[in-house]
Structure 1
Amino acid sequence: MANVSDYIVQRIQEWGVDLVFGYPGDGINGVVGAIDRSDGAVRFVQVAHEELGSFGACAYAKYHDDPDAVGVCLSTGGPGAAHLMVGLYDAKADHQPVVAIVGQVARRSIGGSYHQELDLLTMVAGVADYVVEVSTPAQVRQSVDRAFRTALADRTVAVVILPSDVQEADAVPTPERSRGAIYTGTSYQRSAPLPSDEQLDAAAEILNTGRKVALLVGAGALGEGDAVLEVADRLGAGVVKALLGKAVVSDDHPNVTGHLGLLGTRASFELMQGCDTLFMIGTSFPYADWLPPDGAVRTVQVDIDAAQIGLHYPADVGLVGDTGRTLAALLPRLQRTDDRSFVDEVATWRRRDDAIHEQRALSDHTPITPQRPFWEANLRLPDDAVISADSGTSANWFARYIHPRGTQKTSVSGNLGSMVPGAAYALAAKFACPDRLSVGFVGDGAMQMLGINALITAKHYYDTWDDPRMVLCVLNNGDLNQVTWEMRAMAGNPRFEGSQALPEFPFADYAELLGLVGVRVEEPDAVGAAWDTVLAADRPAVLEVMCDPNVPTVPGHLTIGEATNYIEALAKGDPDAAQVVLQSARELWESASGTMKAAISERLG
């Protein structure tokens, strides 16, 4: 006989769900059993750790071709639910629709400090914009419906907590026609608002009168690359990207300077500092130190969420609307400029950066420069690849060296910046896009923390994918490298061996142990051939690249404080000082302006 759990599984099917990432446990076994009884209508993907499930749900929503696809994850209560939290925060921070279905102890035991009982309502209150603990079967219909509607409408996280006895209760009753009853349904229509003519005219006036226009695009502009480039062409503008907007336009376009911020390029910083007009499209970029000084430019911002307008940077005109419809309505109002001097200067900055990046990537010294595997991958990845990265130094090189083209999709843990989602994202991409190659760039620390679990899951499922290939490129340098560089450049502290050194782990051998493909490369000239091997594999593969930990992730613009902190950290007895000086002093110096070089020399005597 069908019970509440069967109803829940049927209801989430009506919301378009055919896949749930999860891990079983006695607190959620009712729903797991109902998924089994669905005869494959809803697929249960057993991840090797609950955190893989919640990161996977976030990435599934990011990568799915349906913009209204909801990522769904499931766990038992107590510790299982706690393991979901980081991935749920990742979804909330990056505005992805995710619903978590979480078990709880039986109703009679709630509040009694029962085995594995946690106060789940309090625990998820900060991450979920809608959370409900279902107390009666009659509440299930409206609870599930509102969770999905909230996740979709607000691009956020919703959590449904199900006590174990509710899951096993008799079927959900039809609401009575009486006071207090709630009738809900599963219809949903995406909102596509459009600003008023007056607002569009005001925005066009600012953009048309600008002489040095910069476009800053983010995740809200994904899928609108042609319109973005048309706006840039009419205005003679340069284009810079926030990291979540990486796939909006390709870095190969001459007017595109790449990314902005610590992970970005010198050309992007120069574009921001040299413009007189800023057009922010689908982003509320939060790092003010990389944007033009307050009051130095006139700014237009478009975002579908009114709360994002002016959130981190003042906007003279805010356009609340769907990006595609707004740009389409704005374009006829924009006048084509014949003055190409500014965009020509932008292209010159871009060519200079390209030459520097190529020279650094193709260095023949060993250990291998970490840029090299990204450079070689960019030459080889197919036009429909799905590409992910972690939040350590791998994100820096991913930002600068991977140039999206065709229908490639890319993402990272953007606003949360969690250390470990690269492998989880790459895994989830194979369920969202099973006919595409998935590639994840992962640091050795992140790989030890969660990536090896992702490989276990990949081994279990790869023969169900249309294209069985998933490549994890592991940057093995034995160091928690991003933090090491932050310690040097931000705090002026030398590398602390006790916190930064990682235990050795043979990642390629581990892949082979699982029955997957493992390739370890130690010489720079072998990196390209190694990529050819893993891309030709008939199963998931690990490409383990033995990288130099002493190549600095120099930002596009180096401040005097950062440069001198870095040099002072070496002088304090950094254990790798000699190697760092030999391998990276030139890069640091190249990133400094003439004025900064003089200031550094004076400060250091």
Structure 2
Amino acid sequence: MTTTVGDYVLRRLREWGVTRVFGYPGDGINGLVAAFGKADNRPAFVQARHEEMAALEAVGYAKFDGGVGVCMATSGPGAIHLLNGLYDAKLDHVPVVAIVGQTARSAMGGSYQQEIDLQSLLKDVASEYLVEVNVAEQLPNALDRAIRTAQARRAPTALIIPSDLQEEHYQPPEHEFRQVPSSAPAALNPTVVPAREDVERAADLLNAGTRVAILVGQGARAAAVEVAEIAEITGGGVAKALLGKDVLTDALPFVTGSIGLLGTRPSYELMRDCDTLLIVGSNFPYSQFLPEFGKARAVQIDLDPTMIGMRYPTEVNLVGDAKTTLRELIPLLKYQQDRSWRETVEENVTRWWSTIDRQAALGARPVNPMRVVTELSRVIPGDAIVTADSGSSTTWYARCLRFRGSMRGSLSGTLATMGCGVPYAIGAKFAHPDRPVIALVGDGAMQMNGLAELITINRYRAEWLDQRLVVCVFHNNDLNQVTWELRAMGGAPKFEESQILPDTSYADLARALGMTAIAVDHPDQLAGAWDQALNAGQPVLLDVHCDPEVPPIPPHATWEQLENTVAAVLRGDPNGWHLVKQGVKTKAQELFS
């Protein structure tokens, strides 16, 4: 049988170890789709309901698998729909390869159906590597470079293959002028170590500190043991950027939790009062939540030299992978005998979790959204994977969920796109079909695209060894995060025409799609609902009716934010006095700790 270009693409993907391709078919990739059929669906084609979901599923897969995610779409609208997911990969530094069809070469330039300038469309999002393949001999090098570049740069890359070329006979490059060969696929696992003298300078700086703070991001994930060891030697505390929330367990008493607007009070206090800062694998952008400039001396460790020294005036920058660099650093550190700073950090952490429990126990109409997450924390399996969508539910994920064991978690960190929670969860299930997955999703995101992907969950559930995938919907009929931003940032009351969502039963819709569903409209039902969902042995939708007026107030809220919220109430915010009551009750719990 003749090997077509489409056949070769799939063969090369298999050689790279790619087992899943997330996509949606169209005539611009008919040659590739036919190749899947001839190859007995190896790698497996995972059909999303929309190309944006396919791209986000590839991002979720890559985040939790640690390898490259691959997505595929037809020309024109299919390629356009991929963009949001690819930008999510670009901004969160995730390796994803997009394979995109294009109109036949004979029709290019003729304003043909679904013909758009794909290179112009993709050149920003796939700036690290973008190529259109126009002859078969280009293919090995182009595909290999797309994968290698995605791995090395931790970025999305894109390959455009015209539809007619996909069906042509594959001809490998020859030893000729203007033909470029390639080499066998091989994983890239670089070990980068900074210069010894720079490591020694970093050790001297850390040894001179008496109040050390450590900030970790997703780049520190493979170095959890080393981070904990350095925290123990220095007597420091560890704060976590949102993308690094799963780096260290919250069972460690010196881990202060998330940092930033969605962060915790002990993380705020850690940065406010420290005299020394060590940043490991994080590009956390909000410098206002870091120590005041000049107040703390700082060291940063990052594998990417272009991202180092950007967020805080660091004295020593160590370019290297986190684990190896920290292993070089540890023997040079001196044990901090004075443990008073560590004791303060641990007291702050203990007080914080007590505050969270009290805030979550407060009454609301009908359910306090904080309690949704604190109840989950009590029963969540230690090997669970949690995905969080973008919205007010992200705040409760960031502040209230206690990570333990080998739990993993992620969200759209920098793009903060709505609608990532469910496709991330699907990607996570394909990456780890033997682990339970929980998606924490607002009702706005569910109406945007999450409902359609329930069909995808139900379709592929039989392929997962552990079928537990719980989609928890925070059902408050409000685009809640933006509502609170209107209040806190501009003093504007809630504008109901833009903010109110049509009420619907997500439980009923899930049942109609063949899923098990549980509706919760009273706080006393929560614990039992989580138990039932996590022991069902199959996908479950949890539809929790929440109070939209429980405020996601930062524990370090500014007077301006509080004044703006009061101004919004005075200007006629609907349910204004209820939100004031909830805000006062919530904030008051911090006074009792």
Q: Which of the five TM-score ranges fits, normalised by the shorter chain?
A: over 0.9
Residue 598 (structure 1) aligns with = none
Matched letter for residue 52 of structure 2: E
- 1:292 matches 2:291: yes
Matched letter for residue 420 of structure 1: G
Residue 57 (structure 1) aligns with = 58
Matched letter for residue 75 of structure 2: G
Which structure 1 residue ranges, 5 or more long, are not aligned? Answer: 594-605
Matched letter for residue 184 of structure 1: S
Q: Secondary structure at the residue paired with 1:28? A: helix
Q: Percent identity?
A: 46
Q: Secondary structure at the residue paired with 1:505? A: coil
- Do 1:267 and 1:353's aligned partners in 2 also have CA atoms closer than 8 Å? yes
1:527, CA displacement in angstroms?
Answer: 0.4
1:167, CA displacement in angstroms?
Answer: 0.5
The separation in 1 between residues aligned to 2:442 and 2:234, in whole angstroms, is 40
- Residues 578-593 of structure 1: matches in 2 within 5 Å? 578-588=577-587
Q: Secondary structure at the residue paired with 2:282? A: coil
Residue 139 (structure 2) aligns with = 140
Cα displacement string for residues 437-493 of structure 1 (whole angstroms, at most 9, x for unaligned residues): 110000000011111111010111101110111100000000000000011001111
1:120, CA displacement in angstroms?
Answer: 0.9
- Do 2:47 and 2:456's aligned partners in 1 also have CA atoms closer than 8 Å? yes
In structure 2, relative to structure 1, the CA distance for the partners of 1:498 and 1:406 (3 Å cut) is same
Cα displacement string for residues 89-126 of structure 1 (whole angstroms, at most 9, x for unaligned residues): 11111111100001110012222221111111111111
- 1:44 matches 2:42: no
- Residues 193-204 of structure 1: matches in 2 within 5 Å? 193-204=192-203
1:407, CA displacement in angstroms?
Answer: 1.3
Residue 221 (structure 1) aligns with = 220
- Do 1:107 and 1:165's aligned partners in 2 also have CA atoms closer than 8 Å? yes
The separation in 1 between residues aligned to 2:138 and 2:391, in whole angstroms, is 43
- Do 2:358 and 2:589's aligned partners in 1 also have CA atoms closer than 8 Å? no
1:49, CA displacement in angstroms?
Answer: 1.1
Cα displacement string for residues 168-211 of structure 1 (whole angstroms, at most 9, x for unaligned residues): 1111x232222222111223432110011101000000000001
Q: Secondary structure at the residue paired with 2:27? A: coil
The separation in 1 between residues aligned to 2:364 and 2:419, in whole angstroms, is 29
Residue 400 (structure 2) aligns with = 401
1:252, CA displacement in angstroms?
Answer: 2.2
Q: Secondary structure at the residue paired with 1:387? A: strand
Q: Secondary structure at the residue paired with 1:228? A: helix
Q: Secondary structure at the residue paired with 1:502? A: coil
- Residues 265-344 of structure 1: matches in 2 within 5 Å? 265-344=264-343
1:577, CA displacement in angstroms?
Answer: 0.3
Matched letter for residue 5 of structure 1: G
Residue 250 (structure 2) aligns with = 251
Residue 71 (structure 1) aligns with = 69
The separation in 1 between residues aligned to 2:414 and 2:307, in whole angstroms, is 14
292-301 or 470-479: which moved more? 292-301
Residue 427 (structure 2) aligns with = 428
Matched letter for residue 420 of structure 2: P
Q: Secondary structure at the residue paired with 1:118? A: coil
Cα displacement string for residues 109-146 of structure 1 (whole angstroms, at most 9, x for unaligned residues): 22222111111111111110211111111111111111
Q: Secondary structure at the residue paired with 1:471? A: strand
The separation in 1 between residues aligned to 2:251 and 2:479, in whole angstroms, is 31
Residue 108 (structure 1) aligns with = 106
The separation in 2 between residues aligned to 1:168 and 1:379, in whole angstroms, is 54
The separation in 2 between residues aligned to 1:188 and 1:232, in whole angstroms, is 32
- 1:17 matches 2:18: yes
The separation in 1 between residues aligned to 2:432 and 2:332, in whole angstroms, is 38
Q: CA RMSD in A?
A: 1.3
- Do 1:554 and 1:591's aligned partners in 2 also have CA atoms closer than 8 Å? no
Count how many residue pairs are aligned between Structure 1 and Structure 2: 589
- Do 1:101 and 1:159's aligned partners in 2 also have CA atoms closer than 8 Å? yes
- Do 1:102 and 1:162's aligned partners in 2 also have CA atoms closer than 8 Å? yes
1:41, CA displacement in angstroms?
Answer: 2.4
Residue 539 (structure 1) aligns with = 538
- Residues 430-579 of structure 1: matches in 2 within 5 Å? 430-579=429-578
- Do 1:305 and 1:320's aligned partners in 2 also have CA atoms closer than 8 Å? yes
Matched letter for residue 119 of structure 1: D
- Do 1:247 and 1:410's aligned partners in 2 also have CA atoms closer than 8 Å? yes
The separation in 2 between residues aligned to 1:174 and 1:578, in whole angstroms, is 72
1:589, CA displacement in angstroms?
Answer: 5.9
The separation in 1 between residues aligned to 2:137 and 2:226, in whole angstroms, is 48
- Do 2:148 and 2:188's aligned partners in 1 also have CA atoms closer than 8 Å? no
1:213, CA displacement in angstroms?
Answer: 0.5
In structure 2, relative to structure 1, the CA distance for the partners of 1:591 and 1:225 (3 Å cut) is same
- Residues 125-274 of structure 1: matches in 2 within 5 Å? 125-128=123-126, 129-171=128-170, 173-185=171-183, 186-274=185-273
Residue 417 (structure 1) aligns with = 416
Matched letter for residue 551 of structure 1: V
The separation in 1 between residues aligned to 2:299 and 2:453, in whole angstroms, is 42
The separation in 2 between residues aligned to 1:331 and 1:420, in whole angstroms, is 41
